[in-house]
Structure 1
Amino acid sequence: MQWKVKESLSRRQLIMMSDKDHETVAAACPTGNPIDDCWRCGPNWASNRQQLASCGFGFGRDALGGQGGPVYIVTDSSDDDASLNKPGTFRYGVSLNQPLWIIFSSDMTIRLKDKLMMSSFKTIDGRGADMVTSTSLWTSGMQVTVALNHFDEGLEQRMPRCRHGYFHIVNNDYMEWGMYAVGGSANPTINSQGNRYMAPANPNAKEVTRILDDTIGDSEWMKWDWRSEGDILVNGAFFAPSGDGSGVKYALASSTDPKSAMIIDQLTINAGVLGPTIGGSGPLTGTGTGVGAAAGSGTGEGWGIPLVGRTVYGGSVTAPLPPSIFFSFLMVILCHLYVCIL
């Protein structure tokens, strides 16, 4: 996915931060966003990060992710040589063939130099860290929900790009795009509901959608099922629908009841960076036991995230590396989740 964090805290006038106890309290909680309301209203979420796994939504509501697995801390933002797959990097964590809850030791910029292939059972938890990357999200598979995101200025395309399968794009806020917002190839079904699409000033980039398949003509594309329902289109934005509106296909591309696009500001008010005081500051420490992990501890400057009872992996927080049995997992680069980050 391509993320750009830009003045994200300024969007959240309802969020108040307390320097005394380093807790974030939402002045307007709940917000109506089912994911945020599930975990964010509690002031001590950082001590129980894996509660987020119970906040499933859309087609992913039953996904386990890294629940029950050890915590992997990304401490190294480099991706200079993908073939080395260095411990402590983001690439190393997502390649390991076991459940992992992946967090970040500090603010960082990660620029991927090659395709990132994720193994199964991973949760990438960026809460509490300011993350900027330069990538794109391709989704290819059966049923995918893209929901409750704020796509800010400076993004070009692939939010997302869809291939095959059924895609529910619901209650997102698109502030701008360079080329297009939602693209597709290989006959995906796209169900866009309750989003706000704000077109850029460029008169040649007003269309929300883009067909990304040069092998077909208009007559073939018109058989694909793409629809916009309850979306707000701003500044000349337009969505090109296609297909016969078959209820059966859109039923397969419906994962939740959309909320009104009129409250999109409220639904996405917490999107973006939480801020630097989440969970307090101090050393990262962790102890625990698990598959391929001896009991141990590690220290290093970070966010003060309680990790007792979890194994910490990450090369540059001075925590011991797991035994050599783990390195056999470097060969596991298959995209079991049908999500490939390029």
Structure 2
Amino acid sequence: MAISTSLLSLSCFLLPIVLSLVNVYAKENYYYNTKTPVLNEIDSCWRTKTNWASNRKALANCAIGFGKDAIGGKYGAIYIVTDSSDDPENPKQGTLRYGAIQTKPLWIIFQRDMVIALKNELIMNSYKTIDGRGVKVEIGNGPCITIQGVSHVIIHGIRIHDCKPSKAGLVRSTPDHVGHRQGSDGDAISIFASSNIWIDHCFLASCSDGLIDIIHASTAITISNNYFTQHDKVMLLGHNDGYTADKVMKVTIVFNRFASGLTERMPRVRFGYAHVANNKYDEWKMYAIGGSSNPTILSEGNFFIAPNDHNAKQITKRESKGNWKSWKWRSSKDAFSNGAYFIPSGYGSCAPNYTPSQSFVAVPAYMVPAITLNAGPLSCYVGRAC
């Protein structure tokens, strides 16, 4: 009788564990081994459609978060890049720069695969989409993209890497204006005093400065489905600790893959608000999410894998003089692996104040490896779903 009682007690103890393991296996078996990709909310809006190539502008309806209203060139003509050359002062028709500086809305696509080595920073004008679907487009080994003082820009499906600082010189920003630029810092994408911006399904790596910088009161921005790798200071939100105008900044960072070889700033935030949701973090060398000057950060449903370095397990880093405990930094429904841990702070709600159209529900963290599996540029073929 004593043995039977012991076995019964042991079975009652083990049953929940066994059921939990079965549940985990079932989830992993479904989300990793299914032949059908598990799509996130943005991708499910357009990737299953076989007519994406003839209905490219439907992509503009698919953003979520603070950059939801970015329409890019939705109401403009299709402009086809046929020439990979670059002339910063007098760009030729058919080049990327010629399309990017036009004052009218344009949806910019590419005739074929191409590598574009810009001779100076590419200055974007408002109401532009750069759409790399269906081809392989690389921008690198020179200055890269500047989004300054404009609105409604979408950049999708572009590989941006090895960006270098530019020298001072003349750069055309509209068909009617050539200005003297002081030189860019070597960012992959610099967003300066701009709004309604959406960066989606891009590959970003190995640049001289940041991969994405969002500064000078830029706001209404979504960074989604991108693949970041091999870089030090990944993403900066906020100009400096004295630039209080960045309090208006609202950024959604969602469905991205922060892959190997990254050191810090995924993101680093000043003053503004960042909703960091459903991203996969494959280790980091210093920290993942940081900030200064009392930003508000909600980390929701992310999948964090800490590095093996026992000195770098902490996800968060605050740069302050000891007053950070009132800052609203929260972790909600995140998954932590290999000893990763998040230090929260502050009181009261820090939920994103989304409009109904911007709002979305973060998926459970265990789904994040599956829904970020296709982060970065996609292989899209005409007549097939991407």
TM range (shorter): 0.5 to 0.7
Instruction: For residue 34 of structure 1, give the secondary structure of its aligned residue in structure 2.
Output: coil
**What is the alpha-carbon distance in structure 1 between the residues aligned to residue 82 and residue 343 of structure 2?**
43
**1:265 positional shift:** 2.3
Map 1:1-342; keep pairs closer than 5 Å: 27-28=35-36, 31-71=38-78, 88=95, 93=100, 95-104=123-132, 106-111=136-141, 113=143, 116-118=146-148, 119-126=150-157, 131-133=203-205, 134=207, 135-137=210-212, 138-140=236-238, 141-211=248-318, 213=319, 216-218=320-322, 220-244=323-347, 246-247=348-349, 249-252=350-353, 255-275=359-379, 278-279=381-382
- How many Å separate the matches in 1 of 2:256 and 2:75? 26
Aligned length: 248
Question: Counterparts of 2:139 and 2:155 in 1: how far apart (Å)?
Answer: 15
For residues 119-140 of structure 1, give each alpha carbon's deviation from its aligned partner in whole angstroms, at most 9, with x where no partner exists: 3221112179984543422234
Matches of 2:81 and 2:237 in 1, distance apart? 24
Task: Label 1:237 to 1:61 Cα distance change in 2 as closer, same or farther (>3 A).
Answer: same
- Note the C-alpha offset of 1:36: 0.6
**Which amino acid letter does the alignment assign opposite residue 68 of structure 2?**
R
What secondary structure, in the 3-state scheme, does the structure 2 residue paired with 1:204 have? helix
Secondary structure (helix, strand or coil) at the match of 1:156 reads strand
Secondary structure, aligned partner of 2:151:
coil
Q: Is the 8 A contact 2:275 2:352 kept in 1?
A: no
Determine the C-alpha separation between the residues in 1 that align with 2:290 and 2:364. 23
Q: TM-score, normalised by structure 1?
A: 0.62
Structure with higher strand content: 2
Where do 5+ consecutive residues of structure 2 fail to align? Answer: 1-30, 101-121, 160-200, 213-235, 239-247
Q: Distance in 2 between matches of 1:77 and 1:106?
A: 12
Question: 1:279–1:156: structure 2 CA closer, same or farther, 3 Å change rule?
Answer: farther
Larger RCO: Structure 1 or Structure 2 (Cα < 8 Å, ≥ 6 residues apart)? 1
Do the aligned partners of 2:290 and 2:317 also contact (CA within 8 Å) in 1? yes
Amino acid at match of 1:165: G
Kindly provide the amino acid, as one letter, of the partner of residue 169 in structure 1: V
CA distance in 2, matches of 1:170, 1:150: 11
Aligned residues of 2:125 and 2:147 also touching (Cα < 8 A) = no
Report Cα offsets for 1:85-124 as digits up to 9, x if no partner.
9663579836243311113463425245478334322111
d(CA) in 2 for partners of 1:186, 1:85: 42
Identify unmatched segments of 5+ residues in structure 1: 1-11, 16-26, 281-342
Percent identity between the two aligned chains:
40
Deviation per residue, 1:263-316 (Å, 9 max, x gap): 1123223322322x6238xxxxxxxxxxxxxxxxxxxxxxxxxxxxxxxxxxxx
Aligned counterparts of 1:77 and 1:155: Cα–Cα separation in 2: 30
Which residue identity lines up with residue 236 of structure 1 in the other structure?
G
Could you report, residue by residue, the CA deviation over 1:46-90 in whole angstroms, capped at 9, with x for unpaired residues?
2222111111212222332332234456678899x9x75966357
Match of 1:45, SS state, is: coil
